[in-house]
Structure 1
């Protein structure tokens, strides 16, 4: 069972990832249906990722194959797709001024942006 800290991070990431998907889609003038078609997935599934929620308020947690398909639909590398802003305050841990904390997942944290 994930800890509350991990659950909070997962929820925060799912929300930010959802905003990233919507932004990418809108900037390309695509509909949710078209992105789902290009990614080879059900429209409902893509819509859940874009909302950041799967079922009963559980955060969206796409499989690697889904992430690769979505990245392909947007004609980008999966590492570019996963660049989201990350707010370390969701962890509930104190951060000394001027010090960057790495998030609970592995990745790089620079200037308020975390890549995983």
Structure 2
């Protein structure tokens, strides 16, 4: 029996995994959420929402590329290290 390819994650699943990756990188770096937020010029609340993958109740996070690059720099990792491996399943434009 052939293996079926794994389905692409939804955007919600993608940003949830992104948040877990951010949290792992932050913990590895020895920084608190507050320290990462301050150094990234984000509010602590905004950074917490990135790690949770939720922007507001019922809405997934949608960080800008600038935010991801800045946070990755603060965490001393490449952006590719915090992005999930599987691309999200997005609707056609």
TM norm structure 2: 0.76
2:28 is aligned to 27
Secondary structure of the residue aligned to 1:67 is helix
Larger relative CO (CA 8 A, sep 6+): 1 or 2?
2
Structure 1 residue 76, shift from structure 2 partner: 2.5
Mapping 1:37-116, distance limit 5 Å? 37-82=38-83, 84-86=84-86, 104=89
Mapped partners of 1:31, 1:19: distance in 2: 14
Which runs of 5 or more structure 2 residues have no equivalent in the other structure?
1-7
1:97 is aligned to none
Indicate if the aligned counterparts of 2:25 and 2:77 stay in contact, CA closer than 8 A: no
Which runs of 5 or more structure 1 residues have no equivalent in the other structure?
1-5, 87-101, 106-116
TM norm structure 1: 0.62
Mapped partners of 2:42, 2:88: distance in 1: 30
Structure 1 residue 103, shift from structure 2 partner: 5.2
| CA RMSD in angstroms, aligned pairs only | 2.1
Q: How many residues align?
A: 83
